[in-house]
Every structure is written in structure tokens, then in C-alpha cells.
Amino acid sequence: MFAVDTGTWINAGVSILVAFAVATLLDRAFRGKAAREVADKAGISRQSATRLRFVRRLLYAVIVLIGIAFALSEFDGISSLARGLLASGAIAAAVIGFAARQVLANFVAGIMLAVTQPLRVGDWVTFDGNYGVVEDVRLNYTILKTATHQRIVIPNEKLASGILKNDTLVVEVVSLDVSIWIPPEADVEAAIAALEDETGQEVTVAEAVPWGTRLGVGSDPVAPPDRAPREAELRRQCLARLRKEGLLRVQSN
């Protein structure tokens, strides 16, 4: 072991504290800029908000790591200890690298998401059957808030390599398309006419199989938060009209 005097420990501690202080001040400065942009009439775009969040977190991590590196440089024995570890710890380094590959992959994927932006903070997206608004894009993972206020944490690597549906990438509203099944012996043309009269929207035959026919019913675009309740209301409205017309009744032999 190598001997370390009190002054070295103090200098190392000061380096780390300064790094955390600088990182915190920059983080607050970035947050203040974002708050001022939001308060401004023009506001801040989703692209800028997403990049700003990612950059401030990246800067925070880099500054803290630099501070830790300066702190370690205060110890005279660190370099010789490091050389010894490098000479004898190749297997350990390989094991550590293998264990950390997922963290690094998520970090690289986070950078790619921040640059290409297939999703942004505030976008309404569907991923792996989960629908919600992007609440935050962090260095290693993204947080999705569902309509029921649940938070889904998605690793960035999985998000970058998966299939993502973004409803608000181009426009701020989404169109509705609900499916209504009718029995195979039901009059399809009568069902289409009844639903078009009820909703005022175009109705199409989406699928026809031996056990029934699936009709697709659209609606006027709505804001993403209103999508689920509006689809439920539209589905209920269509079923009530078909039931009234007797088109949901299964005829017995």
C-alpha cells in the first residue's frame, strides 16, 4: 500500500467538490435557459428541449468524471497501481467490459436518439404495445408516461433498435380508427350504411374471415390525450347502432 498525507486527501476532496459545484451550476444554467424559452411566447421546440436535457446531463457526467480523475491524480501511487492492475488484470478488465457492454450500448443509443430524434420530449408514441407521452430522454433510458399515469422505463438500446410509432412527430393530432366486428351472416352493406349514418365518417371492410367481418371506422383527428376515451366512445356508439339495427344478432340454425 502507498502512504497518503492529509494534504493529498484534502486536494482530492476539493477537486471532487469543485467538479460537482461546476456541474451543478451548469445544470441549473441549462434549466434556467429552458424555463426562459418556455416562458417566451415563441416557446422552445420539442427538438431543442430534448437535446437540451441530454446535453446538460452529458456535461454533468463528463465534469464529474474529470473531477474524479483530477482527484485520483493527487495520489502518487495511483499510476504505479494502475500499471500493476493493467499488467495483471487483463481477464478482470475483459469481465468488467463484458458486464458493462449493456450500459455503454444504452449510452451510445441515447446519443443517437438525441441526434436523430425519432421521438422527443412531449411526443405521444407507441412502443411494444405501450402508448403514452415521452416524459424524459436520459443518458441510458427513456421514460414513457401512459394515459393512466404509469411510468414505463425503456432502455435506449431497445428503443433505438425497435419499431416505434410516433403520433406527433409531424402533426399534433391523431386520427382514430376503431375496429367493429359483425357476425359472418350479417348484412355488411347494411352495417356500413348504418355506421356511416351514425358517425358521419367513412366505414371500410378491414377484414373478412369465416367467423366474422371486421369494419374499420374512422373519426376526426383529436389531441393524443383524448385518443383512448374518444375511441372507446366511438366503439360504444357503433355497437349501440348495430345492436339497434339487429346486425349483431347471431342467427341460430
Q: pLDDT tens-digit profile of 111-131?
A: 888 888 888 888 999 998 898
Give mean pLDDT, residues 69-90. Answer: 59
pLDDT band at 102 (very low <50, low <70, confident <90, very high): confident
Read off the pLDDT of residues 194-228 as tens digits, 9 standing for 90 and up: 999 999 888 999 988 988 999 999 888 888 888 88
Closest by CA to 17, choosing from 62, 63, 74, is 63
What the block records as the C-alpha cell of 208 is: 373478412
User: Alpha-carbon Rg of the chain, whole angstroms?
Assistant: 28
Report the alpha-carbon distance of residue 248 to residue 242 in Å, rounded. 6
150 versus 39: the higher-pLDDT residue is 150
Range list of β-strands (E), 48-197: 124-127, 130-137, 141-146, 151-155, 164-166, 174-182
Read off the pLDDT of residues 23-42 as tens digits, 9 standing for 90 and up: 788 777 766 665 555 445 45
